[in-house]
Structure 1
């Protein structure tokens, strides 16, 4: 299984790069936490960074065995998580199993990721939100690029539910599934 870490977002609402940010009270940066949680579950981990944070991410996790750091590839760049999926799948010649994790879920537990890893064609959901960036699916680069080229649909939700035919793996709502969107709110909640 390949772990895919979404770390290339602009973090415009958050105000700082989420991937390289260290949440007060947590032992490492968000990208380090994501890699550490995926390591026991995946043979290889691909971190999709952006041109701005790539060098910093290389310093943080570039020396970890089995970790590869990439950026989006033209002409499929700058379209969010689907750009990362295209760049990641481009590294492999055939379809692979992927376990995806966005860096803005620093509280997710290894246990929840392990259950997701054992449940193919799934994504994590709670009563409050569907977490499409926490997913497990099998896909090839050709399948992803054909989907985008034929549908011109860059929404992760559409891809996960319609193309990958993933089903919700339902959990109770908890802090574990909190998504870092606004730094002020997240800091005040802790």
Structure 2
């Protein structure tokens, strides 16, 4: 099983390279955390980089003989996660078994990765999300290149349609947090938040859950209109599980909410105007 770490994203929203970033409560930066986790299961690891972080990553990992930093290759440079798979497939064109991990899952646990590694052709899911960048699967260079010729750059589509990966479900957890902005890496405990800030966070969370619920309910209506099939039944089951998880979370957070608290949206509008 060959480890493959996706570290070649542009990190535009984050504002700095995610692979080289270190969370306040972590002992090392994100690339070191990812390498350490995959090293428990893989004898060899490839790190997919971009033109900007190739040298810093190479220098940082130079003493690890089982780790090789690779860069995106034409004609699929900077085209998303499949660019990393394409670069790896040029080194290993035959069908190869990969354990995939994106560098921006710094909190993911060894137990979760071990569970994924123990299942063939699979990816991680939680009630709200599919985590295609936490996966275990086998593919060949020919399989990937034939897929890319269709001008389809979706990692999820490749895993589901070509490799026939199946989801492995996990409870929704902070361990699956994927950070997109630096401010998201700082979360105060309730004991250090003002009541106003705490209620504001609850309102935002409840609003987000309500929106998610509406989206899932609309998707359920659309799927219900499809012709009866096993695929339709599977879709309905997955959507209903997501919907129930959202409803459970909504009720959980609602009990802490103060009905009299009003969220001041003008602050958000002003903040958005400054960005």
TM range (shorter): over 0.9
User: Which residue of the partner structure matches residue 177 of structure 1?
Assistant: 176
Larger radius of gyration: 2
List alignment gaps of at least 5 residues for structure 1. Answer: none
> 3-state DSSP class of the match of 2:135?
strand
Establish whether residue 62 from structure 1 lines up as the match of residue 62 from structure 2: yes
- Using the TM superposition, give the Cα deviation of residue 185 of structure 1 relative to its aligned residue in structure 2, in angstroms: 1.8
More helix by share: 2
Provide the C-alpha distance between the structure 1 equivalents of 2:188 and 2:158, rounded to a whole number of angstroms: 32
User: Which residue of the partner structure matches residue 13 of structure 1?
Assistant: 13
Q: Between the two structures, name the one with larger relative contact order (CA 8 Å, sep ≥ 6).
A: 1
Provide the C-alpha distance between the structure 2 equivalents of 1:137 and 1:177, rounded to a whole number of angstroms: 20
User: Runs ≥4 in structure 1, deviation > 3 angstroms?
Assistant: none
The range that moved more, 122-131 or 88-97, is: 88-97
- Using the TM superposition, give the Cα deviation of residue 146 of structure 1 relative to its aligned residue in structure 2, in angstroms: 1.0
- Using the TM superposition, give the Cα deviation of residue 189 of structure 1 relative to its aligned residue in structure 2, in angstroms: 5.4
Provide the C-alpha distance between the structure 2 equivalents of 1:104 and 1:187, rounded to a whole number of angstroms: 15
CA shift digits 1:90-120 (9 cap, x unpaired): 1114111001000000000111111111101
Provide the C-alpha distance between the structure 2 equivalents of 1:189 and 1:110, rounded to a whole number of angstroms: 25
CA shift digits 1:113-159 (9 cap, x unpaired): 1111110110000001100000111001111011111x210011111
After TM superposition, the score normalised by the length of structure 2 is 0.67
Query: What is the CA RMSD across the aligned residues, in angstroms?
Result: 1.1
* Residues 44, 67 of structure 2: 8 Å contact kept: yes
> 3-state DSSP class of the match of 1:188?
coil
* Residues 22, 28 of structure 2: 8 Å contact kept: yes
Establish whether residue 107 from structure 1 lines up as the match of residue 96 from structure 2: no
Structure 1 residues 189, 128: closer, same or farther in 2, change over 3 A?
A: farther
